[in-house]
A and B are shown apart, each in its own frame.
Chain A
């Protein structure tokens, strides 16, 4: 017997995955550099219950019977946009293009568009999570500095301006293929392609803006519409399960 309960439960799982993504998007509507989760739903593979043209006792059934097992989540990838918002911290950096910052974490290099960099006690540019900018840039404490659009970091030295570092950006062929590691950090996957490390402005990465950060790519209005739709679809699957439960009940009540 074809499992109606199984279809209902596939539907619940898929819609609950969508709800999780929508909830994460709404929660991160104000998180700098956040890439909203774009989910993709599709029907599952088919089960051919009876092929077309089946012959039974000399009678041919032209139309066959094919049933699918409901819906499944087939995609859940980050999508980034280019809006920027100003901040009051000079070490904050926004990317006016499609590039990514590289930061070193205990698990290796990670990529991010959240440029909320601060200067730590050692003078290095770090994210609030503690991940250091890669390649590292060190700015002595209490010195006036500026970060140019092309990534050159200059400090005001006693003998005039002095270059202390260069911020580099990575150009990733397919950012939607990146794997989220939490904390707004991403790592490469087979689907993301190999990054090219360039100076800001080259290879479509975009130039830098100091005292600014990239906005979250969440569109709040769209997310709320998605939330309502996913909730409705979830409830429909609950109804499927409750109907099949009653059907099973009447089957077990058969008196033979």
Chain B
């Protein structure tokens, strides 16, 4: 019976892997998206588990596998657009935004100016300045952003974008292209106007990963079928597996 549980834990893991890869592929054109990376961990025992708020063990085996996810901080390209509201970060770094749930960090610079003159993200979250307040612009006037994040309208400085690097340790994805991390690091990148960070999903690599996960999953189903056949043979012979 052990082999069935081991194979089942592998199938659950590969299915989660496929979900992660599909999420990355789906976001291959989402500006500022950081791809999720999956890791398989050998799990000494208790491998078939029910996930969720209260994880519990459904079946035990001598060995198994668990699938975990993390965020890939690999740099992404900067693609120019013809929209002056689009901002990109050349190199590492994040914009600081205020959402309904608190502070978050993003590399998705698809900004716009709302009806009150605040610079907002495509989700409507406020883009913050170094003073911790939303960047407020005079309506109907174009603005320019310098490499260090200084926002000017005409000859007047109206604010400075809050920019930060984040420690890869503990960096977690909040969804909607937003990230959070327990530790801030000094900003080393450069802001580029009329450009967007592309998604850092490597399309060809993820396609290969998807085919890989698919064939591993199918190998495991073959294994389950083999084990099932072996068990029924053993049962006809009156031998306990």
Q: Is B182 an interface residue (CB 8 A)?
A: no
Q: 0/1 per residue, A31-69, Cβ < 8 Å to B?
A: 000000010111111100111101111010111111111
Q: Find out whether the CB atom of B27 lies under 8 angstroms from the CB atom of A70.
A: yes
A98 with B210: CB separation less than 8 A: no
- Min CB–CB distance B77 → chain A (angstroms): 13
Please, which residues of chain A bring their CB within 8 A of the CB of B22? Answer: 4, 7-8, 11, 70, 240, 244
| Of listed A70, A203, A230, residue having the most chain B CB within 10 A | A70
Closest beta carbon of chain B to A140's beta carbon, Å: 36
Q: Is the CB of B112 within 8 A of A2?
A: no
Give the interface residue-count category, chain B.
35 or more
- Give complex CA distance A98, B140 in Å: 8
Name the interface residues of A165-201: CB closer than 8 Å to any CB of B: 171, 173-174, 176-177, 190-194
Residues of A within 8 A of B211 (CB): 243
Quick check: is B202 within 8 A (CB to CB) of the other chain?
A: no
Cβ < 8 Å to B, chain A residues 217-253 = 219, 222, 229-230, 232-233, 236-237, 239-240, 243-244, 246-247, 250-251, 253
Q: Closest approach, in angstroms, between the C-beta of A133 and any C-beta of chain B?
A: 22
Contact present for A236 and B122 (CB under 8 Å)? no
Inter-subunit contact B36/A240 (CB<8 Å): no
Selecting from A72-80, A112-120, A148-156, the interface stretch reads A72-80
A4 with B29: CB separation less than 8 A: no
**Residues of chain B within 8 A of A43, CB atoms compared:** 23, 26-27, 30, 33, 173, 175-177
Q: Does B207 contact A (CB under 8 A)?
A: yes
Interface check A1, CB cutoff 8 A: yes
The residue in chain A whose Cβ has the minimal distance to the Cβ of B112 is A176
CB contacts between A and B, total, < 8 Å: 209
Give B79-123 interface residues, CB cut-off 8 Å to A.
81-83, 85, 108, 110, 112-117, 122-123
Looking at B22, B27, B51, B177, the one whose CB has the most chain A CB atoms below 10 A away is: B22
Q: How far is the CB of A29 from chain B (nearest CB, A)?
A: 14
A204 interface hit (Cβ, 8 Å): yes
Identify which of residues 157-171 in chain A touch chain B, using a CB-to-CB cut-off of 8 Å. Answer: 171
| Contact (Cβ within 8 A) A42 B33 | yes
- Answer whether residue A210 sits at the interface, using C-beta atoms and an 8 A cutoff: no
- Least CB distance from B40 to A in Å reads 11
Q: Assess the B141–A68 pair: CB atoms within 8 A.
A: no
Q: Which of A69, A79, A173, A203 contacts B23 (CB 8 A)?
A: A69
Q: How far, in whole Å, are A81 and B122 apart by their CA atoms in the complex? A: 20
Q: Which residue on A lies nearest to B84, using beta carbons?
A: A79
B5 interface residue per 8 A CB criterion? no
| A70-B27, A253-B221 known; A174-B69 Cβ under 8 A | no
CB within 8 Å for A173 and B26 given contacts A43-B175, A74-B122, A98-B140: no
User: Can you sample 30 A-B contacts with CB below 8 Å?
Assistant: A2-B16, A2-B19, A4-B19, A7-B22, A8-B22, A41-B27, A42-B177, A43-B27, A46-B174, A54-B55, A57-B45, A59-B46, A61-B66, A64-B69, A67-B16, A67-B69, A68-B36, A71-B26, A71-B29, A74-B123, A173-B115, A176-B85, A191-B115, A204-B141, A222-B81, A222-B82, A236-B203, A239-B207, A240-B26, A251-B221
Apart from the given pairs A38-B83, A41-B27, A61-B68, 14 other A-B contacts in the complex at a CB distance below 8 Å: A2-B19, A4-B15, A8-B26, A11-B26, A63-B39, A67-B69, A68-B27, A68-B175, A71-B33, A190-B115, A192-B115, A193-B116, A239-B210, A246-B218
Interface residues of A (CB under 8 A from B): 1-4, 7-8, 10-11, 14-15, 18, 38, 40-46, 49-52, 54-57, 59, 61-71, 74-75, 77, 79, 98, 171, 173-174, 176-177, 190-194, 203-204, 219, 222, 229-230, 232-233, 236-237, 239-240, 243-244, 246-247, 250-251, 253-256
